[in-house]
Amino acid sequence: MCNLSFGYDDDVGLAQLILVTLCALLALAGVMGVAWRVQQLGHSSSWIDVSWSCGVGCVAVPAALAPLGPNWPHWRQVAVALLVSAWCIRLAAHIYHRARRGSDDLRYRALREQWGAQAPRKMLLFLQSQAVVGVVLVVAAALAAQNPDPAFRLQDLVGLSLLGAGVIGETLACGAGRVIPIISSNGFLGSLIR
Q: Whose CA is closest to 54, among 108, 161, 122, 130?
A: 130
Share of the chain above pLDDT 90, in %: 41
Summarised one tens digit per residue, pLDDT across range 36-61 is: 999 898 777 888 999 999 999 999 99
Same domain, 182 and 140: no
Query: Quick check: 5 and 12 in contact, CB under 8 A?
Result: yes
Lowest mean pLDDT among 50-54, 153-157, 168-172: 168-172
The confidence band for 65, taking pLDDT boundaries of 50, 70 and 90, is very high
Q: What is the pTM (predicted TM-score) of this model?
A: 0.77
What's the domain range around 167? Answer: 151-194
Of 113, 134, 149, the one marking the end of a domain is: 149
User: Is the pLDDT confidence value at 4 over 60?
Assistant: no
Coil/strand/helix, residue 128: helix
Note the helical H segments in the chain: 10-40, 47-65, 75-99, 106-115, 119-145, 154-184, 187-193
Residue type, 179: V
Angstrom distance (rounded) from CA 172 to CA 75 = 30
User: Do both 135 and 161 map to the same domain?
Assistant: no
Number of domains in the chain: 2
- Furthest CA-CA distance within the chain: 68
What is the residue-averaged pLDDT of the chain? 81
